Amino acid sequence: MCIRNRLVSLIYRSVILTALIAVYAGVWLTSPSSSETFFTFSVETSLLVLIAMAFNVYFSAKDLSSTGRIGVTGSICLPLSLAILSYSVLGSISFYVGESYVDLYYLPWRVAMNVIFPLSYLLDYLLFQEKGPVLLTHPCYFVLYPFFYIAVMMVKPFITGYDSLNSCRLLSPNNYVMEQNFLSGNGGYNGVVISALFALLLYLIIAYAVVLLDQLLGQRFRIKDRDSY
């Protein structure tokens, strides 16, 4: 399924981009700690969605002005687009499972962010982006970003002197030191390593699910194109 109307895609993307900016601004304005907010995986991945949507608005406007209203609209390259979608889904899961902030004014904005951002970008992909040109090896390349994030969060306490409990409790050794089991070993870093490996595995599951969906939709997309001639 792909709507071949660049005007419709431009209107949708412009409205969604405006909503994403408003929600992102609401998160920052109500945040108890801007520095800790920046270190949360869901906020970082939401920023990637925001940037990707801004580029998609630009590509829609450019295609509309240069090639007309009818046709598949331009978007960022599909492998990168699907990687950002996978990051956003993982970021939403990490918010509900691994973050610690519970603030009366801050929490609704974060909940809105972790619902609107992945859903709006998923709809953009389903409705307007071309399907198919993605390889099964692509998720292995894009796992580098979650891996880099986990590495930064693990060394952050040694650099800043502050623990990662507020930004991601699952990557904080203090979250495990009181446990009377294997996770409390090595000052809680056993739990951190196990959680990190689970997060990387979860990302790969999400990414490959998205890629397989794209392969399925891409096959239908090509069949529809062939039958239209």
- Judge residue 113's burial from the number of C-beta atoms within 10 Å of its C-beta, 0-12 exposed, 13-18 middle, 19 or more buried: buried
Domain residue ranges of the chain, discontinuous segments joined by +: 6-227
Q: Measured between alpha carbons, how far is 32 from 29 in angstroms, rounded to an integer?
A: 9
Residues in the chain with pLDDT < 70? 1, 34-36, 98-106, 157, 159-167, 179-180, 183, 187, 220-229
pLDDT digits (tens, 9 = 90+) for 61-120: 999 888 888 877 888 988 899 999 999 999 888 888 766 555 555 678 888 898 999 999
Sequence length of the chain is: 229
pLDDT for the residue numbered 223: 47
Q: What is the pTM of this model?
A: 0.84
Q: Measured between alpha carbons, how far is 71 from 60 in angstroms, rounded to an integer?
A: 11
pLDDT for the residue numbered 61: 92
97 HSE (CA, 13 A, CB side): 13
